[in-house]
Amino acid sequence: MKRLTFEPEHEQFRDSVVKFMKAEVGAHAERFREQGIVDRDVFLKAGAQGLLCTWADEKYGGAGIDDFRFEQIIIEENMRHGDIGFYINLHNDLVAPYIAKLGTDEQKDRWMPGIVSGEKILAVAMTEPSTGSDLAGMRTSAVDKGDHWLLNGAKTYISNGILGDLVVVAARTDPESRHGLGLLVVERGMDGFERGRKLDKMGMQAQDTAELFFSDVKVPKANVLGDPTQGFRYLARFLAQERLVAAIGFMATAQTAFDLTLDYVKERRAFGKPIGAFQNTRFAMATMRAELDSLQTYVDQSVLLLNAGELTAEDASSAKLLASELEARVMDQCVQLHGGAGYMQEYRICRMYTDARVSRIFAGTSEIMREIIGRGLGLDERKLN
């Protein structure tokens, strides 16, 4: 189905993004997967191309474009022609907004130019070994020492964990309150800040997911974002956009898997004819086509709602839930239609299948998404009892 949400300037921008992703990411994707990390230079090249934080103010080097459709295009084309391990979406759309929207003028002047140029790669550290999605159970702590905060704790499953130069760390600042959290920016090279092992994952081999450790790290008061006790509220404020970003990526990978499989079933022959000529194949492809078109429309509409400042937590959770579940079904069906080839690493569909398994886990599990949507319907046990 033709997508009606994009204007000619968006499509021109898409053409330039496709060229960049093919040349600077996709062409090196196999090497990135083998080394378990993308080259730092990719972020610098993306910055030079104007692909980092298109929404950032021009005085920081950004384009000052307040239209998330441009970011949507970057996410989609990285998934199609780049590599899922190049976490430009985390840098642009998940972490940088914390600094841009919560930071003081001094903080933005200090950090945003390097963020936009790609000199300062971003990460966010929320998840802990024993808490997972339960942010209220966070154990990493920061104690007020007058002119600084003393940070102690450990984080895990941190994307851009090795490359990250600026890490927004969520820590408990009020031990008497379950929601008393702060957001502290920890910089590369700070004493007591150590990176653990780069984690060996099922998929997303080019993404440098790591453990982070903080032992008596002295974080200056000038590195605290906003109110040091309101971090929980800040995290909730930005989660809707995070989940929409995830849904955009899931739809792009699902569509890519569909396209690869459509080409394959037209060429692969069995019993004297292309396997696409069999009714089972036609029906499977037809069902995926209808589902992809329907849900893509919902995700595109969600982007327009985000632009208008009207995207709700429930809408974003619905997008994330449905897109991750559809992606899973599409990947499984596409592997099946590839037959034995679909189980071979040399075929992209095999790698995409394992990459996609985490989609129903990160940015909030499918179960958490259902909780959020259900509570939005008034079905909250805390209020119904």
CA dist 95 and 167 (Å) reads 9
Q: How far apart are CA 207 and CA 88, in angstroms?
A: 11
For 156, the token pair is 């895990």
Locate the DSSP E strands across 221-308.
224-225, 269-270, 273-274
Active site residue 267: no
DSSP states along 209-246:
-EEEEEEEEEEEGGGEES-TTBHHHHHHHHHHHHHHHH
Residue 54: count of CB within 10 angstroms of its CB: 22
Candidates 141, 109, 132, 72; CA nearest to 323 is: 72
Q: Please identify which of the residues 128, 242, 346, 371 carries the catalytic annotation.
A: 242
In whole angstroms, give the CA distance from residue 50 to residue 283: 42
The C-alpha atoms of residue 137 and residue 375 are separated, in whole angstroms, by: 20
Q: How many residues does the chain have?
A: 385
Q: What is the Cα–Cα distance from 193 to 225, expressed in whole angstroms? A: 19
Catalytic residues: 242
